[in-house]
Amino acid sequence: MQHESQTREAADFDGRRILVTGGTRGIGEAIVARLIRGGGNVIATARSLPPGGAPDRFVQADLSTREGIDRVVKAVMDRLGGLDILIHNVGGSAARGGGALALSDHDWQHAFDRC
C-alpha cells in the first residue's frame, strides 16, 4: 500500500520544464533527483562534468560568462521549449566558517558583490 505522500510525490512536478543550476552535486543533485521522481523534465547545469560523466539532462556551462548563459538558454529552448521552474543553486562562499551570525557586514557585502 502506498502512502499518500508517495503518491503525491510521483506527480508533484508532472510535465513541468525545470532548470537547476549547480545541479550535479550536494543539494543541487538531491533537488534534481526529487524533481525527476516527481515527474519533472529537468536539465541540470554546472561548470564541471558530474561524477561518472554527463547524463542526458546536463549542460556544462559557466554561468558567470555570457557564453555559458547563452549555452544554457539554447539547451533549454532546444530540449524543453521553455521553462516553468528555475532553481538557481549556483554559488559558493569565500566567507569564513561559523555560520551566518559569525559573518561581518564586510563578509556579507563581499558575498553580494560577487553575485
Is the pTM higher than 0.95? The answer reads no
CB atoms within 10 A of CB 64: 11
Task: Give the pLDDT band (50/70/90) at residue 1.
Answer: very low
Alpha helices (H) along the chain: 4-9, 26-37, 66-80, 105-114
pLDDT in tens, 43-65: 999 988 887 777 789 999 998 88
Residue ranges covered by each domain of the chain: 4-114
What is the average pLDDT across 58-78? 94
CATH class of 4-114: alpha beta
Q: C-alpha cell of 77?
A: 529552448
In this structure, of 3-12, 79-88, 105-114, the range with the lowest mean pLDDT score is 3-12
What is the average pLDDT across 79-105? 81
